[in-house]
């Protein structure tokens, strides 16, 4: 069910009160911010799926591997109607674009980025979770979704390669979430940011002579949701990385200077070096630890 802000509230048997309301920037309208719905030959729209079939089979399958396609504008949305449409099918396939999936527990939000080729399946609707959770979507740039419903699943039965490829994509998303979990376990924020940026660069980065350029519609707030940090802390950490010559540019056009190995080595050296900014502790007798009178 919805919480009235467009967030989808996960079922709970805790019997407790409502979770804290989401702050203003995360309020969601009830209906998806949609432009139009059409139909498409999926093998034309998704080259990787087409490569799963040999040329002769691909030609025969092109006419049956079709799906409804929905164009969504950038902005906040509630995908519940889309999930209702694909409830008995494989799910929503992102043909192009970028989406941030946000999960709120209590007063904290974690995000996940999804892009071209990702498969999103309808929520399971668990009733054995004691935590109250709210889920929301933010379309970061114009995005096209293929609605893989029950009729689609029936049409592609003669092409098991397509089903297997979609299952692999669902598994790939789980692996990406596991990588994010490991990244957020790092105690230092600069390390978390660097690892996240290189993780995103592997998929969305563009190689340049001096490093990698990562041009995504990111904000400091969204980066904080990805690395488990508050927005001001992310701003300060990015400033420190810029002063170190590791990461430059605004959040939506970051330049990763050098290589991942160089970044990790530099951050490791900084962590092991004594900080000149570290305060000097006073001894109980009024003298500094170095022996001089305070």
pLDDT > 90? residue 279: no
Give how far Cα 114 sits from Cα of 20, 100, 101, 119, 284, Å: 26, 6, 8, 9, 55
| pLDDT, averaged across the chain | 83
Q: Does 11 have pLDDT greater than 60?
A: no
Query: How many residues are listed for the chain in this entry?
Result: 294
Residue with tokens 């989401």: 22
Task: Tell which phi-psi region holds residue 12, choosing left (phi > 0), alpha (psi between -120 and 50) or beta.
Answer: beta
What integer pLDDT is reported at residue 21 of this predicted model?
Answer: 37
Contact 119, 168 (CB under 8 A): no
Predicted confidence at residue 241, as pLDDT, reads 97
The per-residue pLDDT for range 193-204, each reduced to its tens digit, is: 999 999 999 999
Residues 20-33 pLDDT 10s: 333 333 333 334 45
Mean pLDDT in residue range 203-217: 95
Contact of 137 with 79, CB cutoff 8 Å: yes
Domain positions in the chain: 8-183, 186-272
Query: Is the separation of the CB atoms in 235 and 251 below 8 Å?
Result: no
Distances in Å between the alpha carbon of 140 and those of 47, 203, 252?
23, 16, 11
Same fold, 8-183 and 186-272: yes
**Which residues have a Cβ under 8 Å from the Cβ of 68 and sit 6 or more positions away?**
37, 38, 39, 85, 146, 147, 149
Which two tokens mark 105? 């527990």
Per-residue pLDDT band for 275 (boundaries 50, 70, 90) equals low
231: tokens are 């927005």
Domain 8-183, CATH homologous superfamily name and number: Jelly Rolls (2.60.120.10)
Q: 0.85 exceeded by the pTM?
A: no
Between CA 72 and CA 57 the distance in angstroms is 32
Looking at residue 134, its pLDDT comes to: 87
pLDDT value at residue 196: 98
Q: Which of the residue ranges 18-22, 63-67, 103-107, 136-140 would you say has the lowest mean pLDDT?
A: 18-22
Inform me whether the pLDDT recorded for 228 exceeds 50: yes
Domain 186-272 CATH (choose: 2.40.37.10, 3.30.360.10, 2.60.120.10, 3.90.1150.10) = 2.60.120.10
* Helices 220-227 & 231-243 angle (0-180, nearest 10): 100
pLDDT band at 5 (very low <50, low <70, confident <90, very high): very low
Residue 209, Cα to own-chain centre: how many angstroms? 27
């Amino acid at each position: 069910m919805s919480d009235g802000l467009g967030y989808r509230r996960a079922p709970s048997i805790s019997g407790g009160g409502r979770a804290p309301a989401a702050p203003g920037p995360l309020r969601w309208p009830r209906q998806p911010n949609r432009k139009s719905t059409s139909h498409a030959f999926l093998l034309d729209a998704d080259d990787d799926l087409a490569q799963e079939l040999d040329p002769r089979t691909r030609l025969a399958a092109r006419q049956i591997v079709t799906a409804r396609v929905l164009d969504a504008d950038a902005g906040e949305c509630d995908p519940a109607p889309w999930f209702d449409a694909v409830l008995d099918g494989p799910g929503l396939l992102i043909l192009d674009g970028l989406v941030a999936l946000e999960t709120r527990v209590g007063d904290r939000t974690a995000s996940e980025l999804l892009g071209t080729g990702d498969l999103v399946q309808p929520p399971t609707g668990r009733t054995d979770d004691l935590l109250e959770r709210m889920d929301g979507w933010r379309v970061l740039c114009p995005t096209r979704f293929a609605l893989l419903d029950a009729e689609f699943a029936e049409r592609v039965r003669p092409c098991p390669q397509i089903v297997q490829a979609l299952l692999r994509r669902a598994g790939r998303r789980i692996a990406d979430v596991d990588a994010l979990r490991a990244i957020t376990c790092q105690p230092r924020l600069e390390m978390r940011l660097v690892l996240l940026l290189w993780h995103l660069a592997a998929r969305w980065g563009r190689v340049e002579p001096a490093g990698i350029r990562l041009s995504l519609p990111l904000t400091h707030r969204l980066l904080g949701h990805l690395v488990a940090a508050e927005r001001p802390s992310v701003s300060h950490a990015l400033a420190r990385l810029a002063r170190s010559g590791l990461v430059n540019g605004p959040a939506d056009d970051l330049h990763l200077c050098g290589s991942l190995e160089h970044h990790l080595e530099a951050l490791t050296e900084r962590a092991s070096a004594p900080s000149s900014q570290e305060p000097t502790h006073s001894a109980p007798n009024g003298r500094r630890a170095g022996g001089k009178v305070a």
